[in-house]
Structure 1
Amino acid sequence: MKTQAYLLYLLLFINFGLCAQQATLNGVILDENKIPLPGASITYAGGGTQSNKNGVYELRIPANQTVKVNISYVGFKNITVTLNLKVNQVYELNPVLKTDVEQIAEVVISGREQKVVEGITTLDPETIRNTPSANPGVEGLLKSLPGVSSNNELSTQYAVRGGNYDENLVYVNEIEVYRPFLIRSGQQEGLSFVNTDLVSNVDFSAGGFQAKYGDKLSSVLDITYRRPTRIGASADLSLLGARVSAEGITKDKKLAAILGARYRDNSLLVNAKDTETNFRPRFADIQTYISYNLSNTFELGFLGNISINKYDYQPLTQQTNFGTLQNPLALVVFYEGQEKDKYETYFGAFKGTYKPNENLLLKFIASGYHTQEQEYYDIFALYRLGVVNTDIGSDEVGDVVLTGTAGSQLTHARNDLDALIFNLQHRGSFSRDEHQIEWGIKYTSEDIRDRVQEYEIIDSAGFSIRPPIEDFVNDQPYNPYTSPIVPFANVRATNDVQIDRISTFGQYSLRTAINNTDVWINAGVRSQTWTVSGAGLQSTTQTVVSPRAQLAIKPDWKRDMIFRVSGGYYHQPPFYRELRDSLGVVRPEVKAQESIHLVLGHDYSFKLWDRPFTLTSEFYYKTLNDVNPYTIENVRIRYRARNNAEAYATGLDLRLNGEFIPGTESWVSLGVLKTEENIDNRGYISRPTDQRLKIGALFQDYVPTIPNLKMYLNLVYQTGVPGGSPSYADPYNFQTRLRDYRRADLGISYILVGPEKQPKADSFLRHFRSLNLGFEIFNIFDNRNSITNTFVRDASSKQQFAIPNILTPRVFNIRLGMRF
C-alpha cells in the first residue's frame, strides 16, 4: 500500500500544462436605497458581464495582475475598481451606485497587501475545505503553518510559538468564542466551533498582534462568516460524517441568512487504534448567521450555535508494542467498565453595526455562552508488561511470553460543570485620509459551577501503591502493613465562582509615505480589571495594562519587500481553568501571566518560473513572568494555580508560498523554537510545548491531461515534545521526549461539475453548481505517532515504565461534495 501511495503521488505531481490563472469577482449592484440594479455593466479590458434581474453578478478576471473593473448603469455615476487578486480567490464587492454624489475616482484593493503589513496570514476558505485532515477545518490547515504545532490529529487544539491550548484567541465576526472546559482527550472533541461552509475570510496572527485583539498570550484566529448574495445550498458527505448548509437573500437584499449543520462520527479513526473498544462518539451542531439591513446606515446580525457532543466509550482490550528491536516490550490491558461523557454548548450573539457616514463606524455586541458538561467513568484495568515473542515461525508471535510486571488500576470520575458567560461590548472606529482611530469597551460576566470528584487506585502484585507525598515503610511480608490504604490520586471539590471583567482598548493607525517609502504605524493599549468571588472565596480584584505597537515599511525598491517590527506587553488574566489547581481548589489570587513580545518580520515577493511567490520570515522572542506552570494530559491542561515560574520562547518562522504548480497555491514552512521555564528558581527545563523543529507543507496539484483530477497533500514533521510526568512527580525528573511526529494526509478529487466543466443542458448534473467525488488517505505512511505516555508502576521492582499512547494508523475515507 505504501508503494501504491508513492506511485499515485508521483503521477499526480508530474505535469507540464498550465491552467487558467483566474480569480472571481461577485456581488450585488445596488442603488442608494439598497434596491438591486438589473442589467448593470461590469467590465474590464478582457471581458465583462451584466447583473441579473436581482442585481447579482459574477465575473472571472485574471489573477496576480492589476485589473481595472468598471461598473456602470444608465443614470448613475460610474465606479472604477482596481484589483489584484490571487489565483482562485473569490472577492465579494457590493457597490452602491449614486446619482447625486461624485463617486470615489478609484478604489484600490490588493489581495496580498491587505493584511501583510499587520503581520497577519490570510488563508483561503476553499483551500481549507479541500485540504485533507483527520479533523478537517481551519485548525487542520493552521497546523501546516510555521510556529503552529499539534501532535494530535484527533484534536482541533494547537499551540503557537511555545504557548499552550488556552493561549489562543478565536473570533467569529468579532465575537469571541469559547471551547468546553472538561475535555481531556482529542477523541472527545468532535467538532471545532468554526463551520468552514459559512466562512468567507480567515486571518491568523502568531504573535505581536494589535491592541484591538483580546487578552491572550499567543495567537489570534479571526474568522468572518459571509453574507450570502444568492440562494444556494451545499453538502459534504464522507465516512466520517456529513455537512450541509443553506443560504439565501431576499429580493430587496435587506435580509440574508446562512445555516449550517454538521454531524461527525470518529469511529473510523478511533476503532483503528491499539485499543479495542465498543465506541460511539457522536458529535453534532447547527449554526447560523443572519443579517438584516434596517436602513442604509444600520445592520443587525445574529450568530447562533447549538452543539451536542456525546462520547460513549467501553474499552475491551489493548496491546501497545514499544521498546527496541533488541528488547521488544508490550503492554497488554484487559478492561471492564465504561465512560459516558456529554458536552452541550449553546451560543448566541447579536451585533449591531451603525455607519452614519463614510468616516465613522460604531458596533454594539451582546453575546451569551452556556455549557453543560458531564464526565462520568468507572474503568477497571488489569495489565501486564513483558517481553514480546519475535519468532516469526511461532504461533505466538507478537504475544507477551514473559511477564515482568502485573497490576491493576481503577479510575473513577463524577465531574459536572455548568458555566454561563455573558458579554456586552462596544467597538468603534474613525477614519479620515490616512489616519484611523479605534476603540472599544467590554464587560464580561462568568458564572461557573463545578463539581470535580475523581480518584485512581493502583495495585501491583498485591501492593496498593500510595501517592509519594508521605513517608511510610512497606516491607511485607516480613512485617505487617500498618499504614492506611488510600487512593493514589484523589480529587474532590465543589466550586461556585463568579468572575466580572471590564476590558478596554484604544489604538491609532497611520498609513503614509516618506520619500516614496510606504510606512504603516499602529500604537495602542489594552487594559483589563477583573474580580473573582464565590462561595468560600475571598473576593480579589486585579488590573493589568498592556501597551503594544507595530511598524511596517515598504521601501521604494525594485524588489518587492516589506519590513515589520511589532511588540509590547501582553497579559492573560486567568480564566477559570487557570484558577483551579490540580486538587480542584480555586485560588482567586492567581495573577495574570505576562509576556513581552518582540517580532521582526520580512516579506519578499518575487517571480519564479514566471509565477508569483512570497517568502515570509519572522524572528520572535518572548519573555514570560508570573508563569502559571501546567502539565498536559492529551489535551487537558492542569495548572498548579501558582505564579511560581518564569519562562522564555524564541524562534524563527519561515514560509514560502506561491504557485509551485501553475494555477494553484501551495506552501512550505519551517519553524525553529526553543521554550523553557524556571520553576521556583530551580533552573530552566523544557516547557511541555517545547517543539524544537517543525516542517509543514501543503501541495495542490492536478493531472495536466485531466485538469479536473486534483490532489491535495498535507505534510507535517515535528520533533518530539517532553512526554509529561506521572501524577505527583517532579517534572525536573521527567524530561524524556516523545518520538517525532510525522504525518502525511492525501486527498484526491475529481470535479464532475465546476467553473471549468459545465454539464449539458439536458443532463441531470445541470442542477449542480459544483460536484466532486474523491477519497482521502490519512497517515499515508502509517507512522506510529504518540500524544502522551501512560506511566505503569510496579511496586515489587519499584520501576516505572513510560508506554506511549499511539494515535491513529493509516485510514481511508471517501468524500462527496456538492453545491447548488
Structure 2
Amino acid sequence: MKKQFFFLLIALIFISLSSSAQNATLKGIILNENNVPVQGANITFDNSGTQSDENGVYELTIPANQEVQINVTHIALKSLQFTIKLEENQEYELNPVLKTNVEQISTVIISGRERKTVEGITTLDPETIRTTPSANAGVEGLLKSLPGVSSNNELSTQYSVRGGNYDENLVYVNEIEVYRPFLIRSGQQEGLSFVNTDLVRNVDFSAGGFQAKYGDKLSSVLDITYKRPTRIGASVNMSLLGGSISAGGISKNKKLSGIVGVRYRDNSLLVDARNTETNFQPLFADVQTYLSYNFSDKFELGFLGNLAINKYDYEPLREQVNFGTLQTVQALVVNYQGQEEDQYDTYFGALKGTFRPNNNLTLKLIASGYQTQEQEYYDILASYALGTVNTDIGSEDLGDIEFAEGVGSQLTHARNDLDALIFNIQHKGTYTYDNHQFDWGIKYTSEDIKDRLQEYEIIDSAGFSIRPPIRDLINDQPYTPFESPIVPFVSVRATNEVTVDRISGYAQYSLRSNIKENEIWANLGVRAHNWNISGNTVNPSNSQVVISPRAQFAIKPNWKTDMIFRVSGGLYHQPPFYRELRDSLGVVRPNVKAQQSIHLVVGNDYSFNMWNRPFKLTSEIYYKKLTDVNPYTIENVRIRYRARNNAEAYAQGVDVRLNGEFVPGTESWVSIGYLKTEENIDDRGYISRPTDQRLKIGVLLQDYVPSIPSLKGYLNLVYQTGVPGGSPSYADPYDFQSRLRDYRRADLGVSYVVVDANKRLKQGNFFNNFEELSLGLEIYNLFDNQNSITNTFVRDAASQRQFAIPNFLTPRVFNVRVGMKF
C-alpha cells in the first residue's frame, strides 16, 4: 500500500494544472502553373508569416481551433487567399498553385476534421500516439483507451471492438490493406505492429457503421496515412524495450520524396518480470518505407514496402502461481523442461498509382503482394504440483506448498509450418461535382496457403495417463487401472493446400446539402464479394456471393449549440479467411459461409467551450445482430474456429467520450463504454461470447509542470470488467462461463524536453544540434495490479476436481526512453 501511495504521489506531482497556447502546423510546397516550385512567396496571417525557400517549401505555425485567413503572395504572381481551421497539434499539408492571371480568393473553410466527424470517425494525433506510455506503444496501445475497444493483454497489439474478435478489424496504410501472421498464439510472440508510428501522419478509426468503400469485416476500420516529407530530417528513439530510426527527405526538384523506418523490439524486460522464470531470446525487427514520385501534376506513383523478421526462443524453467482466498491460499508450482522456437518472417510490397486528369476526377490503381513464412516448434514437459500454501509467517517454509492435492505432468508438442502468398490488384475512383461525390472500386485477390498443423498434448496425473474426453469411454482412473497404449489427450494433425480467389467491389454516393438552414450529409453505398475455394487437399466449393448495402446520414441543426446528429448502418459480411475455414482439428471446410451482421449506430457530437477551452462530447448507441456466426475459442490470443456457422449472436452497447483541453494546451480524454454480447450455439440458448466486456473506462491525461513547462507527464488508465475465462479445448463452453478478474492498469510517463522548436539553449550549446531532444521515464502497471488473460485448467485425478488457475500478466515495470530529431 505504501508503494502504491508513493507512485500515486509521483503521478500527482508531475501531473499538475498549467496553461499555454495550442498551435497547429500548415506546410507544403508553393508551385506555379507549370508545377515549378516558387521561391520567395509570402505565406502570412495577421502579423505573422514565413517565406518559401529556394525549393518552394514552407512551414507555418498557426493558432488551432479557430478560423485563420491565409494569404499567399508573390511579386510576379497573383495572390491566393483562403480560410483554414485546424485542430490542436494537427499537421496539414497544402500545396497551393499560384497563377499569373487570376486573383484567387476562397471563403471555403478547410477543416481537417469536418468530414470525419460526419462519418463517425475518431482521429488520433500521431504525437499523442508517440508519447503515450504503454507496454506495447503505438497506434494499438492508444486505441485501447477509446470506448468500445478492448484488450486484456498489454503484450499484444490485437484488440476487440464492440464484441468482435481480433480477426474482424480492417487495417489500411495509405489505402493499402495490411495483414497479420497466422500462427501467433500468445502476445509475447507477436513482436511489432505493422504500423510504424515514426512514419505516421494521420490516424483515423471507425468502430462500426463504416462506409461501403471499406472492406468486408464486421467490426472496425483503422486507416493510417504515412508522412510525405517536405524536407530532409531524421529521428531516433531508444528505450529498454528496443529502438527505432527513421529518416525522410525530398529531392531538389520536389518530385521524389520518401521516408524509411527501422525498428527493433525486445520484450525481455516485460516477460522476465512475469511469474515464469525463463531463458528468453526474442528478436523482433522490421524495415519499412514509403516512396512517392510525381511524374507530373496529374500522375503520382507510390511504393509501400515492409520486411519483418520475428524470432522467438523461449525456454521456461519454473513458475509458481498463487490463487484462492486469504484463508486458503493455493498454488500451482510448475517445473519445465524443453523449449519453444518460433519464427515469423513477412514480406510486403505495394505500388499505388494516382492519376488526376482534372480537379474533379481521381483514379487509382493499387497492386500489392504479401508473403508470410511461419514456423512454430516446441516440446515442453511441465511437471506440476497443486496444493495448499504455507502461510505461517514464522515458518521457514513460508510460501511453499505444504500439502499437494494433485501432482502430474503435461507434454505439449508442435511442428506447425505455414506459407501464405496473398496478391491484390485494385482500381478505385472518385468523382466530385459541387456537393456531390461518387466513389467506386473493384478488387481481385488471390490467396495461396500451404499449411502443416501437427500438435499433441499428453496429460499424466498421479502416474496415470488421462484419456481423451470421449463420452463412450469409461475411465475410472486411478481406482481401476486402464490397460491401454498411451494416446494423446488432444491430437491435431493436418496438411492443407488451399487457394482462394476473390472479386469484390463497391459503389457509393455522398451528398452535402441543406434543409432550410440545417446542414446535412448523406452517403449511400453497396459492396459485393464473390469467392471460391479450391486446392489439392479440399473439395472445390461452389462460388459464394454476398451483397452489403450501407448508409450514413448526418445533420447539423442551425442551433446556437454546436451539435451534429448522425445515424449509420447496413448489412455487413465477413467472407471467411483461411483461419475461419480451418476448424479446431485442422480440417478445412470450404463451404463455410460469410458471417453476417446488421449494424445500427446512432451518434451525437456536441462541441462546446468549458473553462474557455474547447471540448467535445461524443456519444454513440449501437446494436449488431449477427447470423451465420462461426463460433470460436480464444487460447491466449490465438483464435480457433468451429467452422460450422452454427450460431447466432448480438452485441449492444453505449460509448461515450469526452475529449478536450482538461489542462490548457493539451488534449486529454475520458471514455466510458458499456457492452453486452451473447451467442446462441446450436439453438441451446444464449451465453456470453469470449469478448463480452461489460464495462470499460479509459482515461488519457497529458500535462506539464507550470513552473517547468519542459517537464511533461502522461497518464494512461484503463479499467475493464472481466471477460469469460475460456474453457479447455475439449470442453463444452456452456459449462465454463466463469469470468476473469477485472482488468486494471495505469501507465505513467514523464519526459523532459531538453530542446525543441520552442526551446533553444545558449548559442554554442551542443544540444542545439538537435531539432528535438527529450528524456523520459515510464512506469508500466503503476499500481502493480495482478491482471490475468486466460485460465490454465488443471485436474486433480484423485478428487476429479478441475481448477481454473489464472495466467497473470506483467507486474510493475520501469522503462527509460530517449527521443531525438534532426
The normalised TM-score by structure 2 is 0.98
CA distance in 2, matches of 1:67, 1:341: 55
Shift of 1:2: 2.2
Q: How does 1:167-186 map to 2 (within 5 A)?
A: 167-186=168-187
Shift of 1:6: 1.1
Work out whether residues 467 and 475 of structure 2, in 8 Å CA contact, stay in contact via their aligned partners in 1. no
CA distance in 1, matches of 2:267, 2:429: 43
CA distance in 2, matches of 1:569, 1:101: 48
Pair 389,104 (structure 1): closer, same or farther in 2 beyond 3 Å: same
* Comparing 1-10 and 206-215, the one that deviates more: 1-10
Shift of 1:54: 2.0
CA distance in 2, matches of 1:77, 1:415: 66
SS at match of 1:105: strand
The corresponding residue for 1:544 is: 546
The corresponding residue for 2:382 is: 381
SS at match of 1:674: strand
SS at match of 2:78: coil
* Alignment counterpart, residue 794 of structure 1, candidates 793, 796, 816: 796
Partner AA of 2:608 in structure 1: F
Shift of 1:3: 2.4
Partner AA of 2:345 in structure 1: E
Partner AA of 2:637 in structure 1: V
CA distance in 2, matches of 1:644, 1:479: 39
The corresponding residue for 2:569 is: 567
Shift of 1:100: 4.1
Work out whether residues 145 and 700 of structure 2, in 8 Å CA contact, stay in contact via their aligned partners in 1. yes
Shift of 1:373: 0.1
Shift of 1:289: 0.1
Shift of 1:713: 0.6
SS at match of 1:688: coil
Q: How does 1:512-591 map to 2 (within 5 A)?
A: 512-540=513-541, 541-591=543-593
Shift of 1:754: 1.1
CA distance in 1, matches of 2:557, 2:407: 69
Shift of 1:27: 1.8
The corresponding residue for 1:491 is: 492
CA distance in 1, matches of 2:675, 2:729: 27
The corresponding residue for 2:336 is: 335
Work out whether residues 20 and 663 of structure 1, in 8 Å CA contact, stay in contact via their aligned partners in 2. yes
Work out whether residues 309 and 344 of structure 2, in 8 Å CA contact, stay in contact via their aligned partners in 1. yes
Partner AA of 2:539 in structure 1: Q
CA distance in 1, matches of 2:478, 2:386: 24
Q: How does 1:196-207 map to 2 (within 5 A)?
A: 196-207=197-208
CA distance in 2, matches of 1:626, 1:298: 44
The corresponding residue for 1:722 is: 724
Shift of 1:802: 0.6
1:460 equivalent in alignment to 2:422: no
The corresponding residue for 1:368 is: 369
Work out whether residues 34 and 252 of structure 1, in 8 Å CA contact, stay in contact via their aligned partners in 2. no
The corresponding residue for 2:821 is: 819
The corresponding residue for 2:157 is: 156
Shift of 1:739: 0.3
* Comparing 83-92 and 146-155, the one that deviates more: 83-92
The corresponding residue for 1:738 is: 740
The corresponding residue for 1:147 is: 148
CA distance in 2, matches of 1:457, 1:740: 32
Shift of 1:102: 5.5
SS at match of 2:14: helix
Partner AA of 2:96 in structure 1: P
For each residue in 1:663-693, what CA deviation from the matched residue of structure 2 results, as whole angstroms up to 9, or x when unmatched? 0000000000000000000000000000000
1:69 equivalent in alignment to 2:60: no
Work out whether residues 34 and 253 of structure 1, in 8 Å CA contact, stay in contact via their aligned partners in 2. no
Shift of 1:527: 0.4
Work out whether residues 469 and 728 of structure 1, in 8 Å CA contact, stay in contact via their aligned partners in 2. no
Task: Give the gaps of 5 or more residues in structure 2.
Answer: none
Work out whether residues 80 and 107 of structure 1, in 8 Å CA contact, stay in contact via their aligned partners in 2. no
Shift of 1:475: 4.0
SS at match of 1:455: strand
The corresponding residue for 2:756 is: 754
The corresponding residue for 2:193 is: 192
Shift of 1:296: 1.2
CA distance in 2, matches of 1:412, 1:476: 24
CA distance in 2, matches of 1:728, 1:269: 31
* Alignment counterpart, residue 809 of structure 1, candidates 805, 808, 811: 811
The corresponding residue for 1:700 is: 702
Partner AA of 1:722 in structure 2: P
CA distance in 2, matches of 1:644, 1:93: 52
Task: Give the gaps of 5 or more residues in structure 1.
Answer: none
Pair 477,313 (structure 1): closer, same or farther in 2 beyond 3 Å: closer
For each residue in 1:105-144, what CA deviation from the matched residue of structure 2 results, as whole angstroms up to 9, or x when unmatched? 2342123323100000000000000000000000000000
* Alignment counterpart, residue 614 of structure 1, candidates 613, 616, 619: 616
Pair 510,793 (structure 1): closer, same or farther in 2 beyond 3 Å: same
Pair 561,396 (structure 1): closer, same or farther in 2 beyond 3 Å: same
Q: How does 1:233-382 map to 2 (within 5 A)?
A: 233-382=234-383
Work out whether residues 745 and 780 of structure 1, in 8 Å CA contact, stay in contact via their aligned partners in 2. yes
CA distance in 2, matches of 1:544, 1:115: 28
Work out whether residues 81 and 104 of structure 2, in 8 Å CA contact, stay in contact via their aligned partners in 1. no
SS at match of 1:752: strand
Partner AA of 1:607 in structure 2: N
CA distance in 1, matches of 2:690, 2:23: 44
Shift of 1:265: 0.3
Pair 769,401 (structure 1): closer, same or farther in 2 beyond 3 Å: same
CA distance in 1, matches of 2:163, 2:78: 53
- CA RMSD in angstroms comes to 1.1
1:30 equivalent in alignment to 2:31: yes
Q: How does 1:657-736 map to 2 (within 5 A)?
A: 657-736=659-738
* Comparing 450-459 and 64-73, the one that deviates more: 64-73
Work out whether residues 477 and 797 of structure 2, in 8 Å CA contact, stay in contact via their aligned partners in 1. no
1:593 equivalent in alignment to 2:583: no
Partner AA of 2:218 in structure 1: L
Shift of 1:474: 3.6
* Alignment counterpart, residue 627 of structure 1, candidates 613, 629, 634: 629
Work out whether residues 472 and 483 of structure 1, in 8 Å CA contact, stay in contact via their aligned partners in 2. no
Partner AA of 1:70 in structure 2: N
User: How many residues matched?
Assistant: 819
Q: How does 1:38-117 map to 2 (within 5 A)?
A: 38-100=39-101, 103=104, 105-117=106-118
For each residue in 1:499-520, what CA deviation from the matched residue of structure 2 results, as whole angstroms up to 9, or x when unmatched? 0000000000000111110000
Shift of 1:469: 2.0
For each residue in 1:624-662, what CA deviation from the matched residue of structure 2 results, as whole angstroms up to 9, or x when unmatched? 000000000111000000100000000000000000000
Shift of 1:765: 1.7
CA distance in 2, matches of 1:592, 1:731: 23
